[in-house]
Copies of this chain bind each other. A is one copy, B any other.
Amino acid sequence: MKIIIIGATGTIGSAVADLLEKEHEVVRASRRGPVVVDMDDPASIDALFESVEDVDAVVVTAASGALTPLDSDDDFVRGIQGKLLGQVHLVRRAMRHLRDGGSITLTSGVFDEPMPGGSFGAMVNAGLEAFVKAATIEMPRGLRVNTVGPGWVAETLERLGLDPADGTPVADVARAYVQAVEGTDQGRTIRP
C-alpha cells in the first residue's frame, strides 16, 4: 500500500511511519516536511492530495491535545481548527482521492476524567469519535474511516519528567494505527 502519514515527525507519527514502512510505501508529511502539510490550513490538505497520487491510506497523527482553560480567550476556538475541522476536512478530501478500499485513520484522545482545561479536548475527542462512526454510512468505494485514541504516551510522559508507567509505550500506540490501516475496522475508535 501507499500510505501518507501526516505528523510523521512527531513521537507517534515517526513510530507509525517506521512500523508501516516495513511492509508499505510511506509518504512522510508534516508541517515541516519532507512533504509539507498544515492541518490548520484546508488548502494545504487539498494540495497534499493533488500532489501525491494513488494513495491507499492516510493516517493523521498530527494533533495537539494541549489543555486549554475554558476562559482563555481565543486559544479555545483556535485549537478547534486543526484538531477537529482539519481532520474532518481531511476525511472529506480523502474520500475523493483514495483508491478503492482505502482507509483514513484519525487521532482522537482520551479524557476519561474531567480535568481543568480538558473541556476542549473532551469536546474534540467525543466529536471526532461520533463523526467517524456516523461517517461510515457515507463512505464510498469500500473506504474505511477510524480514529485512534492514544491517550498519554509513555515516552512523552518521560520527556516531561512524569512517570512513564501512566502512559502507553509508543510501540503499542503505533500498532493500533497499523491495525486501523491493515485491518477491517470501520467507524471505530481504537485504543492501544
Contact = CB atoms under 8 A, between A and B. Distances in A.
Interface of A: 69-71, 76-77, 80, 84-85, 88-89, 91-92, 95-96, 111, 114-131, 133-138, 187
Given A85-B80, A89-B77, A111 B127 contact: no
B135 A119 contact: yes
A92 B114 contact: no
A76 to B, nearest CB: 7
Given A71-B95, A88-B76, A122 B114 contact: no
A163 to B, nearest CB: 23
For the complex, would chain A's binding face be called helix, strand, loop or mixed by DSSP majority? helix
A123 B69 contact: no
B134 A128 contact: no
Contacts of A127: 84, 123-124, 126-127, 130
23 contacts: A69-B138, A70-B95, A70-B135, A76-B92, A84-B123, A111-B134, A114-B136, A114-B137, A115-B137, A116-B137, A116-B138, A117-B138, A118-B137, A119-B134, A120-B131, A122-B130, A122-B133, A122-B134, A123-B131, A124-B127, A126-B126, A126-B127, A126-B130
Given A127-B123, A133-B122, A134-B122, A88 B95 contact: no
A92 B115 contact: no
Count chain B CB atoms within 10 A of each CB in A69, A80, A127 and give the residue with the most.
A127
Nearest to A122: B134
A96 to B, nearest CB: 7
Contacts of A133: 114, 122
A129 B131 contact: no
Nearest to A95: B71
